[in-house]
Amino acid sequence: MEIKWYIFLSVTLFCIGIAGALTRRNAIIIFMCIELMLNSVNLLLVAFSKMHLSGIAAKFPALATDAQLFVFFIMVVAAAEVSVGLAIIVMMYRNTHSVDINFLNRLKN
């Protein structure tokens, strides 16, 4: 399969993520959109890794799986980040009974 389909998919996912993050007011959905963007980039990374490294994997076997490994690292970090973010949102909901981000800009005063 050509690389461009991977790129299209990744860009579509990323744009959905941006659109969601910009338009939605619910903090949880914004959070999900951010994760979507992150994972679309992950997808692209894996795709490029597959494309570029298949040729040189014969010469440098050690490099062949590097990008896939990175993706796992990113996922682990993202999982940690999600747990922190969700915890914040839960605490926020307990205090304000709302997850609307427009309601949260009160903090600036």
Partner 1 sequence: MNAIHLIYLVPLLPLIGFLVNGLGRKILSKRAVGVIGSAVILGSFIISLLIFFQVRQEDFTPQIISYFDFINVGTIHASFAFQVDQLSSLFLLIITGVGFLIHVYSASYMHEENATDLARYFSYLNLFVFSMLLLVLGANYIILFIGWEGVGLCSYLLIGYWFKNTSYNNAAKKAFVMNRIGDLGFLLGIFWMINTFGSVSFHDLFNPNNGIISILHETNSHRLIGITLLLFVGAIGKSAQIPLYTWLPDAMAGPTPVSALIHAATMVTAGIYMIARSNLMYTMAPSTMNVVAIIGLATAIFAATIALKQNDIKKVLAYSTVSQLGYMFLGLGVGAYTGAVFHVMTHAFFKALLFLGAGSVIHAMGGEQDLRKMGGLSKRMRITYITFFIGCLAISGIPPFAGFFSKDEILAVTFSKNPLLYIIGLGGALLTAFYMFRLLALAFMGKFRGTEDQLHHVHESPGAITFPLISLAFLSVVGGLVGIPEIYMQHGHRLGEFLSPVFAQSNAILATHEITHQTEWMLTGISTILIVLISVWAWNKNKNYQGETTAETGLDRVLEHKWYVDELYDAIIVKPLRSLSLFFNNVIERSGIDAIVNGIGKSIQYGSRQIRLLQSGQAGSYILMMVIGILILFIIQLFAN
Encoded one letter per residue, x for contact with partner 1 by CB under 8 A and - for no contact, window 88-107 reads -------------xx-xx-x
- Cα separation, 74 vs 42, whole angstroms: 8
Check residue 7 for interaction with partner 1 (CB under 8 A): no
Measured between alpha carbons, how far is residue 69 from residues 25, 33, 38, 78 in Å? 35, 24, 16, 14
Encoded one letter per residue, x for contact with partner 1 by CB under 8 A and - for no contact, window 38-77 reads ----------------------------------------
Site for partner 1 (CB under 8 A): which residue of 18, 46, 67, 71? 18
Nearer to partner 1, 84 or 107 (CB): 107
DSSP 3-state of 58? coil
Nearer to partner 1, 25 or 52 (CB): 25
Nearer to partner 1, 95 or 102 (CB): 102
Q: Which two tokens stand for residue 77?
A: 């970090």
